[in-house]
Each structure stands twice: as structure tokens, then as C-alpha cells.
Amino acid sequence: MKIFERKGHAVIWGDATEALRQHVPDNSVDLIFADPPYNIGKDFNGNKDRWQSEEEYLKWCYEWLDLCVAKLKPNGSLYIMAATQNMPYFDLYLRKRLHILSRIVWAYDSSGVQARKYFGSLYEPILFCVKDKEGYTFNAEDILVEARTGATRKLIDYRKPVPSMYNTKKVPGNVWNIPRVRYRMPEYENHPTQKPVALLERVIRASSNPADIVLDPFSGTFTTSYVAKRLGRRSVGIEIEEEYVKIGLRRLEIQDTYSGEVLRRPAKSYERQVSLAQQQFALFEEKERWNTSSRR
């Protein structure tokens, strides 16, 4: 296990369970966002997320979930994502240990392959849980969205003593329509299950305050820590894959080199094409200049 730290942000390269046990004190974390491997066969840099059986997978999950609960401060919050088929297990397990306040659906559209013999899966479930339902952070004012009333002009509330405009700002409901991270988006990193900045922004703004500690035990591209940093929180991100740790070190500006390698976001295919075209154009211009000067 290796820890990289800079200005209130820690990247831990190692196993989540071990790191939580060895490096995170009990009752010390304000917010945990856990997006574990789903046991559905994704390819995490060559490591498959597939356990021997569902029981094995759940046993593993319950172990780190117990640790997460222990690490949360008394007023802390936990968000957990999981495959739709596994979420009922987590729901039943966590409701005995925490208060589940929201069952959120992150919904998105897909331009990819569509199911043709059943209704394709276009959402991922998220549980929002707190330790103490009488005392937890929820910054409603920081996450307001425009209510969709269906009307094109502002409605007037005639039930008020003095009729006035309806307040069209509201706290989002539990269906979150946020696009998935696509290849052409600036935030894209090379990871199969990267979560959008917009999703983490809502979670972190709502359930933490500046300088609070936000922890992600399965950081992947370190979106959680990246957003935490942008919003003035402190962060702890744990990840087992070295390639993804390098993404974290770069995104959090902890290091700009790693074992002699310069850490930079790999160019996208179309950026490479552009730079190739630019090189060819520069070469063409150079030749033209040469031809003109030799004709003089």
C-alpha cells in the first residue's frame, strides 16, 4: 500500500478494506461515496469484476460496508451505488445499520446497443444513508434546480395574500437525469465506469461542507476527490489499480510525474488527427516558403 498526499488530498494505492482498516480512523469521515465493482464482469484494466458466487461478492461488500459505517462521523452520510440486481441486498443490509433517506435513480439515455427482447437498463440506483436522521448535513440551498412545470411562462400563485410568482427552484427529486461520461466530453478518462462530475457535484454540495473529509473507497478516475477539491473539501481516495492511481495523481495535481513518466491526459483520437493535420499543414507551409525563397 502506498499513500500520496498534498494539500488535504490523499490518494491511497491499495485494497479498500485494508486501507480503511489501517489508515482511516473511526468516526472521522463526513461523507463517503462508494461505487464498488459491480460483479458483472467489467474489465478494470485487465482485472475482471467477477466473484466466484453472489454470496462471495456480498460477503466482501458487507465487510467494507461495515468499515464505512464505522469510519463515518455521527453526522456523516454514505452514498452507495450498485448494480440494479444487487441493490436490494444492500438496501436490506444497510437499513439495519443506517437510515436510508433516499433511493435515487440515476437515469440516462444511451445511443449504444439497445435491448430488443426486454426493456434495456438505462438507470443505476444510488442509496443515500445517514447515521443520525436528526443531525446530518444537507445543504438544500446549494443544489436547487429549476422545477419543470410544463408552462412556458412564469405561473402566478393566487393562493398567496398578495399574488406573486411561483418559486420555480426546488430540491431535486430522486430521479436524476444526468448524461453519462462520453468519449468526447472534456472530463472523459480511460475507465469503463467513470461517473460524471455533475453527479458528484450534487452529492458533495448537498452532503458536505467546505473543509469536510470526503472519502471514496473505489476511486477509479477519482471523480469524487476531483470534485471535492474543486468545492474546497478535503479528500481520501482509495484505488487498487496503478493505472487509475496515476489518473488520480494527475487530476488532483498531487504529482505531475510518476516513476519517470510524465502524467498527462492521453490525447483523444480526434485530437491526434487534428495535430497530425496541423503537422502536415506546417510542413506544407514550410515547403511553400522554401519554394518561394528559392524562386526569388
Ligand X SMILES: C[S@@+](CC[C@H](N)C(=O)[O-])C[C@H]1O[C@@H](n2cnc3c(N)ncnc32)[C@H](O)[C@@H]1O
Q: Which residues of the shown chain bind ligand X in the complex (CB under 6 A)?
A: 15-16, 35-37, 44, 191, 193-195, 218, 220-221, 223, 238-241, 244
Q: How near is the Cβ of 44 to ligand X at its closest, in Å?
A: 4
Q: How near is the Cβ of 127 to ligand X at its closest, in Å?
A: 15
In DSSP notation, 22-56 reads: HHS-TT-EEEEEE----SS--EETTEE---SSHHH
Q: How near is the Cβ of 194 to ligand X at its closest, in Å?
A: 4
Q: Which is nearer to ligand X, 47 or 149 (CB)?
A: 47
Q: Distance between CA 211 and CA 235 in Å, rounded? A: 9
Could you tell me which residues come within 8 angstroms of residue 282 by beta carbon, excluding any fewer than 6 positions away? none
Q: Which is nearer to ligand X, 127 or 238 (CB)?
A: 238
Q: How near is the Cβ of 170 to ligand X at its closest, in Å?
A: 27
Q: Which is nearer to ligand X, 76 or 220 (CB)?
A: 220
Q: Which is nearer to ligand X, 193 or 235 (CB)?
A: 193
Short-list 253, 256, 246, 265, CA closest to 9: 253
Q: Which is nearer to ligand X, 5 or 286 (CB)?
A: 5
In DSSP notation, 106-161 reads: EE----S---SSS----EEEEEEEES-TTS----GGGG-EE---S-SS--EETTSS
Q: Distance between CA 225 and CA 87 in Å, rounded? A: 24
Q: How near is the Cβ of 1 to ligand X at its closest, in Å?
A: 10
CB-based closest residue to ligand X: 220
